Amino acid sequence: MSGLVALARFDLPILAVALVIGLAAARWAFTQRRKPEEPPRS
Amino acid sequence: MGRSVKLLIGLVVALAAAWVGHGPLGQGAAFIDRTEALARTAVRDAGVPGVDVRFGRDPLSRAAILSGPANDFQREGIGDLPGITQRVADVPGVASARWDNGGRPIPLVAETLGLAALAYLIGVVLGRILFRPKRKSFLE
């Protein structure tokens, strides 16, 4: 287990990139885009 | 496009990025080089000449393979006095240490991709909390 922790510390840049991609994917998946409202017809 | 498809695409991108860092950018080989140097120092400190330690290179692995002339006492130690096997196993980053070349160690790339998948999952959970659509009122 401590060996895996050492690997995780060494691979910290890779893990940070994966975490950021996870954040971006969550934003993409969970944010609802609203359709622009149509202007009132005169 | 469904949420699960988007999250799956994100996972594939995260694993691809981790693989590029591990392989083509040399992060995996650098980790094994560093761990091997530390393990060689541990073997040298044991004071038994002719003993060598190496790690799997194809594929890369964190399993140390010891070789050379050493008796049981030198290999396994006695009481509180650790042998060469234990000294190498205690080196940060080493998964296991043994004197034969048998068995199939876990490839380093599998461990790296597993850690990257875990980091991705943490990112998704954090993102789910951060980017959750806000309710306008408690009735919605």
How many CA atoms does the CB half-sphere of B68 hold within 13 Å? 18
Task: Provide the residue ranges of all domains of chain A, joining segments of one domain with +.
Answer: 1-31
Min Cα–Cα distance to chain B from A32, Å: 7
**DSSP β-ladder status, B60-67 and B96-98:** parallel
Query: Radius of gyration of chain A from Cα atoms?
Result: 20
Pair B86, B96: CB distance under 8 Å: no
B97 touches chain A (CB under 8 A): no
Full domain range(s) for residue B47 = 3-130
**Total domains present in chain B:** 1
- Percent of chain B predicted with pLDDT > 90: 64
Given this model, what pLDDT does residue B6 score? 93
Out of B6, B27, B92, closest to residue A29 by CB: B6
Q: Is B83 domain-assigned?
A: yes
Chunked mean pLDDT (size 10), chain A, 42 residues = 87 95 93 68 64
Considering chain B, what percentage of its residues have pLDDT values greater than 70? 94
Judge contact between B110 and B33, C-beta under 8 A. Answer: no
| ipTM (interface pTM) | 0.80
